[in-house]
Structure 1
Amino acid sequence: MTAQLASPDPGVAVLGLARLRSLAFSSGDFLLLEQVNVPGSTAAVADVRISARLKESGRVLAGFSTVLTRVATESGSGSARAVVAVTASTPPYQERGPDGAVLAEAGAGPEQRLRLVLAPVAGHWRLQDVLDGSG
């Protein structure tokens, strides 16, 4: 994952970003999200909203992951901004309380076509925005 996160190729970096984001939500180590998102961006605000709810309740999303397939960097992407088209899915996971008890179960999510907008932060690609990619 470290090599993916450091990759100058946005199509490779996005795979590491998805894995790190999944780890943040499944472990409860929400500081990892600072390495995923552009500070203050739409993506960061959305993840702060989710992580704040989980942190306040002491819950984690055990087994949560985002699986990216059909990853393709769109033409016109450059060193200041890149758009990566992906198909994303989420396998089943559990919401667990502070004591490890299962509080809710989520089934597998449907595949979604998304466009992930990346921008460089401190020399590494970070997620700025998530756009619908079905159009």
Structure 2
Amino acid sequence: MTSPVPDLFTAALAARDRAHAPYSRFKVGAAIRSESGAIYAGCNVENAAYPQGQCAESTAMGLMVASGDRRIVEIVVVGGEAGSGLLCTPCGGCRQRIREFGAPDTPIHIYDAGGYLRSFTLDQLLPFSFGPDNLGF
């Protein structure tokens, strides 16, 4: 299939190549397009104390926020080897983090290292979510 967002795929794939995944050996990259049009890419960073690692999506969101942007327009996640066909969707924690800066209709495009696999909206991955609007924001 043709990539719906080749620039985000390129950024996420490059970030994936820089992942620190010595324990799982499962490298993940993510790239966000913010409301300003900027692209923020991140990779997973594992730690010997396993719960202290961070996901690629969290890394990318941290960069986005640190740069002054606050809205996710779309996001790409790249996990798995080329041709694996593996759907590496954001974990539950990252889905909630994406909800903080995205909207239920935010597109999340999933790739393996070889290319595009499938797209979802955040609402498809996190239905009936709790977000800033629940608190009046």
Do they superpose with TM above 0.5? no
Q: TM-score range by the shorter chain?
A: under 0.3
- TM-score calculated relative to the size of structure 2: 0.25
- TM-score calculated relative to the size of structure 1: 0.26
Greater C-alpha Rg: 1
**More strand as a share of residues:** 1
Report which structure shows greater RCO (CA 8 Å, sep ≥6).
1
